Amino acid sequence: MITVDIKFLLQGIYFFLTVILAGCATPESLFEQEAKRLNFHRTIVPGTKFKHVVYINEIQDDSGDFHVYIDGDGSPWINNRWISENPTPRNLLVLRLMAQDNLPAVYLGRPCYHGLSEIPPCEPSLWTNKRYSMAVVTTMASALEQVTKLLHKKRVVLIGYSGGGTLAMLLAGQLKDVQGIATIAGNLDIEAWVKLHGYSPLSGSTNPAQQPPLNQKLFQLHYVGEKDENIPVRISQAAVLNQHSAHLTLMPKFDHYCCWGKVWPLILKDIQLHSINATP
């Protein structure tokens, strides 16, 4: 006669269901689960013609400063061949970086990301070849202005990871309350990046490397990984040379993903120091 340990059986069933449900979960639901775990508040903010998912850390501070985190491109393509139906980031790095911030901070979602891809006027070009278009930049700028009013903040520091660094550079030229920019493994020259990897041209997108230098009153901190094969150091270096008040910091042994979370408190201190010095 075979005896069964009921407790062991239930644990096995629970584990099986957890795996199945995780496999069926959408990227935006997994993203939101992590945001809830980190005690972020989720809201939807209107831009121009688009809506934006925004996460807020709800830290109270009277300084008037706050940080705006802009994520990478997420998953615009599947296996670099097929257009994705859902570009929402699968990598939760930027959320976890924001969780270490001790100032008021928001995660500003892109148009059509985080479960909004099927809401008109969303269409795939907005997360593929036009992911850095002025239509995207303008609606993100409009949404950020709404958030700024909501939080009663005045001085903004834009923090962009990967393709979010591209958007941070473009947004800085559109917004009046930006104090500075910090990019992490930022794609600062999209044309050079496309040529390097042999990708199709990002027609309809704006290349920050081909725009006039940003206002020299804005501080710029650009952090690049020594071993980053996605966006190599040479691409960032060439773009930074054309900017005013821009500093590039090379992170030894870092690549595109590793190991930004470990040093994030130190980078935040660097950002805050520059913010203090930039405050009139």
Give the mean model confidence (pLDDT) for residues 158-167: 98
Both tokens assigned to 124:
């795939």
Residue 280: per-residue pLDDT:
55
Q: In sequence order, which residues have a C-beta less than 8 Å from that of residue 254 and are 6 or more positions away?
A: 224, 225, 226, 227, 228, 260
pLDDT digits (tens, 9 = 90+) for 183-208: 999 999 999 999 999 999 999 999 99
d(CA 67, CA 104): 6
- The second-level CATH assignment, the architecture, of 27-278 is 3-Layer(aba) Sandwich (3.40)
In this structure, are residues 206 and 132 in contact, taking their beta carbons and an 8 Å threshold?
Answer: yes
Give the mean model confidence (pLDDT) for residues 140-165: 93
In this structure, are residues 144 and 47 in contact, taking their beta carbons and an 8 Å threshold?
Answer: no
Q: Half-sphere exposure of 280 toward its Cβ, with a 13 Å CA cutoff?
A: 6
* Residue in this structure with the two tokens 């691409």, named with its chain if needed: 235
Range with the largest mean pLDDT of 10-14, 58-62, 142-146: 142-146
Q: Is 0.75 topped by the overall pTM?
A: yes
Q: Half-sphere exposure of 200 toward its Cβ, with a 13 Å CA cutoff?
A: 12
- Strand, helix or coil for residue 78: strand
Both tokens assigned to 248:
């590039």
- Angle at the Cα of 23 from the Cα atoms of 22 and 28, rounded to 5 degrees: 70
d(CA 254, CA 26): 30
Q: Alpha carbon of 40 to those of 19, 166, 268: distances in Å?
A: 25, 25, 19
Mind giving me the DSSP string for 204-259?
A: T---GGGSPPPPTTSEEEEEEETT-SSS-HHHHHHHHTTSSSEEEEEETT--SSTT
